[in-house]
Amino acid sequence: MERHIKYKRVLLKISGESFGDKQGRGIDTEQFIVLASEIQKISALGVELAIVVGGGNILRGARLGKVGKSRIKADQAGMIATAINGLLLQDILEESDVKSHVVSAVEIKNFTEPFVIQNCLSYLKEKEVVIFTGGTGNPYFTTDTAGALRAIEISADVLLKATGVDGVYTDDPKKNASAKLHKRLSYIEVLTHRLGVMDMTAVSLSMENKLPIIVFNMNIRENIQKAIMGEQVGTYIGE
């Protein structure tokens, strides 16, 4: 089974809204359970999997910073929100006998592990899931950028960006019924046309390091596995 896998080491970026209710808010335990089931299947294939989780279901630092609050403090609170999602995901994964580690870019003693690249690489080689939280550890950077950065640091074969839509469209499919799905885009096309698929810093980092990105709908069962196996899912972004 493992010989059919196209991407052996994967960084999966999951937005915080994916852990919330239909409006992407709060904590929906069922969403964690569904995701844990998908991860269990991937782990069983022998894939080395790392995950970057967002915290937007609990708090979005950038949004809070626009209403008169300190952007730095708001982003710091957002980093803590990602750790909450990471710890809950770890708990459910381990109920499914999937060994995992919550690694944080910001120090949260007794609950998370500090980011030490050598430790993370060792976990991955042992086929243990690494859950990255705390973003990059710095304000003004999105978890998209954290996803690209961590993917490059662990030498991932691909960055999978899980979203609530099928991929990158020519226009907003929720507002324009005639919008068409791009199956493949270059980094330059995404940057030049500012398609908004993810943070521009994340795209630039990926381009500089030749890290392919696949944007897909995580609400469709087994899409993560299909992407890892090299099947056509969502939008592929690369050279």
What's the chain's length in residues? 239
Give the model's pLDDT for residue 84.
Answer: 96
Q: Among candidates 177, 197, 171, which has minimal Cα distance to 186?
A: 197
Of the candidates 52, 72, 12, 29, the residue with the CA atom closest to the CA atom of residue 214: 12
pLDDT digits (tens, 9 = 90+) for 176-235: 889 899 999 999 999 999 888 889 999 999 999 999 999 999 889 899 999 999 999 999
pTM to 2 decimals?
0.92
Q: Are 181 and 32 in contact (CB under 8 A)?
A: no
Give me the residue label for tokens 């008169």. 68
Quick check: helix, strand or coil at residue 47?
A: coil
User: Which CATH topology does 2-238 take?
Assistant: Carbamate kinase (3.40.1160)
Q: In this structure, are residues 115 and 144 in contact, taking their beta carbons and an 8 Å threshold?
A: no
Q: Which of 26-40, 49-63, 118-132, 201-215 has the lowest mean pLDDT?
A: 49-63
- The letter for the amino acid at 87 is L
The domain spans of the chain are: 2-238
Residue 71 corresponds to which tokens in the numbers above?
A: 């952007």
| Per-position b or e across 102-140, b if 16+ CB within 10 A of its CB | bbbbbebeeebbebeeeebbebbeeebbbbbbbbbeebe
**Rounded CA separation 213/210 (Å):** 9
pLDDT digits (tens, 9 = 90+) for 76-110: 999 999 999 999 999 999 998 999 999 999 999 99
- DSSP 8-state secondary structure symbol assigned to residue 24: S
Residue listed under structure tokens 């929906």: 28
